[in-house]
Amino acid sequence: MKKVLALMGIAMLLACQSENKQKIEITFQIDMSEVIMDIEDSSTIGIVGSGPLNWEITPLANEGNDIYSVTFDWPITDTVPIEYTFMHSYTSFDEGNIGEAAYRMVKPVPGKQVVPLVKWGDLPALAIGRANPSPMLKVERADTKAEEKALGTPFLGVTAQGVVESNLYSIRKTNVSTSPIKNAVEEFLASLTPELRENCTFPIDDREWRRWSNIDYYERKGVGLTDLSETQKALVFQILKESLSAKGFNKTQDIMKMEAYLARLTGETDLLGPDLYWFSFMGSPSETEPWGWQIDGHHLVINYFILGDQIVMTPTFMGSEPNFIADGANQGTRTFEHEERLGLKFYHSLNEEQRAEATLFNKKEYNYLQAGAFSDNMNVPYKGLQLSGLNDSQRQILEELVFEYIGNIKAGHAEIRMEEIRTHLNETYFSWVGDAEGAGPFYYRVHSPVVLIEFDHQKPIFLEGTIADKKHVHTVVRTPNGNDYGKDLLQQHLDDHHH
């Protein structure tokens, strides 16, 4: 049996070498009580990087009561940046799959410095300033204890304070037809063999909705593009064309082109490629009953719920690494150019006082996306600048920015969604992580009771680099307070019809 390394590690980087040879003793502690039962061999719990520039794995000692710690010396400097780097999931030493959880500055003083005791998964609370780096990935692989735990947790929705704000959504007529989507799905499903159809259809309230991931090697259910004939592929892409605007459809195709390019750059053709996407269908296509579809794969996830002529298209996750195809097939393709430009444009439209309020941290080295996969119940507090005081010009730029995301859906439905977002403009917040000029990587968030939009320049995964880079982008759109996957509307429908 391979040894299992708990998701743990600290990477210590020396900020500036001091002539003072005196050392500080630093003790790191973590409470493992919540997860210790899931670890096969507790003796393998360790950290990465204890002591100056030491990148070896060092075991943590059990102090009792499932408190693990390590103490090491560190040269006295003005400040010591500490990156708490945790494994993404239980993994063997030789796999070494390390990601980040939090960052803080320690100002050491002679004597002993104890890093405050933290609980498993709580490290983002230690983030420097007002900006919390991305939480640890809760689920890395399918059909694991971690996935079962995540899916077994009742759905609440993304909230700002851990409590759902009620009476935000209602069932109503929009008079924007969804029949073309229904017809496209029915035609595609009719083209499948009984076995493939069974593999990709689920009940409307199935937890398959929540079972999506950006991880390339996550094992997905449904019907994959590789399972389909060219005729069937054309039919499934027709679903995207009927469901999305031309702009939205083109974005999905550009992401797939970028996956083909990344596969060529890396040679990882088993994990990356334009055909490694899966479709699932929840409920039965209907003019009156709730149903929907999902596409799931690396850097592209869309959840599409339909009830009558209402649509909820969240969670939507789109990303890209790199963001430009320099040569070969599809040369010149660029992704997320407008999302990047408009976010920066809005930030620069703010006056000095507004920018100061919006800026959570003026340096962007880490990942900051909060509401990715398996974060359906994420608590994302309102932070940054409240947008109730915008002038007309700023408001126009904000709407242009928001529409870049919302406009991925068909025009009539996009305008309905925009009106919902406008209604809560005075309760909307904008936050920013990065330098003021935007020359380097940055993160921004637009957050209100009814929408959460995140844009994040991420650390490279497949390409070279160790800090956040503009060539790797993740975006997510959520419908907070319980209506991701249309769940609020679904529950209202079930209550009204006593299913």
Q: Concatenated DSSP letters for 368-410?
A: ---S-TT-TT-B----SEEGGG--HHHHHHHHHHHHHHHTTB-
What letter represents residue 281's amino acid?
F
Query: 216-242, pLDDT tens digit by residue?
Result: 999 999 999 999 999 999 999 999 999
Average pLDDT, the chain: 84
pLDDT at 116: 46
What letter represents residue 428's amino acid?
T
pLDDT tier at 367, thresholds 50, 70, 90: confident
pLDDT at 408: 99
What is the percentage of the chain residues whose pLDDT exceeds 70?
Answer: 75
pLDDT at 50 over 90: no
Q: What mean pLDDT is predicted for residues 165-190?
A: 98
Residue 281, helix vs strand vs coil: strand
Query: 73-111, pLDDT tens digit by residue?
Result: 655 554 444 444 433 333 333 333 333 333 334 444 445
Q: What mean pLDDT is predicted for residues 347-370?
A: 92
Comparing 319 with 467, which gets the higher pLDDT?
A: 319
Task: Count CB atoms within 10 A of the CB of residue 493.
Answer: 19
Q: What mean pLDDT is predicted for residues 344-370?
A: 92
pLDDT tier at 68, thresholds 50, 70, 90: confident
> What's the CA gap between 454 and 157, in Å, rounded?
16
pLDDT at 75: 58
- Per-residue CA distances from 189 to 227, 292, 312 (Å): 13, 13, 22
pLDDT at 327 over 60: yes
Question: What dihedral do alpha carbons 146, 148, 149, 151 form, nearest 10°?
Answer: 120
pLDDT tier at 453, thresholds 50, 70, 90: very high
pLDDT at 94: 35
**Cα angle: 232, vertex 475, 161; to 5 degrees:** 120
pLDDT at 222: 98
Query: 398-414, pLDDT tens digit by residue?
Result: 999 999 999 999 999 99
pLDDT at 126 over 70: no
pLDDT at 337: 98
pLDDT at 22: 57
pLDDT at 283 over 60: yes
Alpha carbon 145 to chain centroid, angstroms: 21
pLDDT at 464 over 50: yes
Q: Using the CB atoms, write b or e for 311-329: b if 16+ within 10 Å.
A: bbbbbbbbbbbbbebeeee
HSE-CB at 261 with a 13 A cutoff on CA atoms is 23
Q: Which two tokens stand for residue 397?
A: 């730029």
pLDDT at 169 over 50: yes
The length of the chain, given as a count of residues? 499
> Hunting for tokens 């063999």 — which residue is that?
193
pLDDT at 29 over 50: yes
Q: What mean pLDDT is predicted for residues 439-455?
A: 98
Residue 227, helix vs strand vs coil: helix
Question: What angle in degrees, to the nearest 10, is found between the helix axes of 392-406 and 411-423?
Answer: 130
Q: Which two tokens stand for residue 304?
A: 């599409």
Lowest mean pLDDT among 108-117, 314-323, 487-496: 108-117
pLDDT at 363: 83
pLDDT at 123: 40
Q: What mean pLDDT is predicted for residues 273-302?
A: 98
pLDDT at 86: 38
Let me know: does 139 contact 147? Beta carbons within 8 Å: yes
pLDDT tier at 468, thresholds 50, 70, 90: confident
pLDDT tier at 58, thresholds 50, 70, 90: low
What is the percentage of the chain residues whose pLDDT exceeds 90?
Answer: 67
pLDDT at 45 over 90: no
Q: Which domains are delineated in the chain? A: 10-126 (2.60.40), 143-499 (no CATH)
Q: What mean pLDDT is predicted for residues 282-295?
A: 98
pLDDT at 221: 97
Helix (H) or strand (E) holding 199: helix 194-200
Q: What mean pLDDT is predicted for residues 418-433?
A: 98
Q: What mean pLDDT is predicted for residues 285-305?
A: 98
pLDDT at 132: 72
pLDDT tier at 47, thresholds 50, 70, 90: low
Alpha carbon 355 to chain centroid, angstroms: 25
pLDDT at 137: 72
HSE-CB at 198 with a 13 A cutoff on CA atoms is 3
Q: Which two tokens stand for residue 234?
A: 């054309």
Biggest CA pair distance of the chain: 75
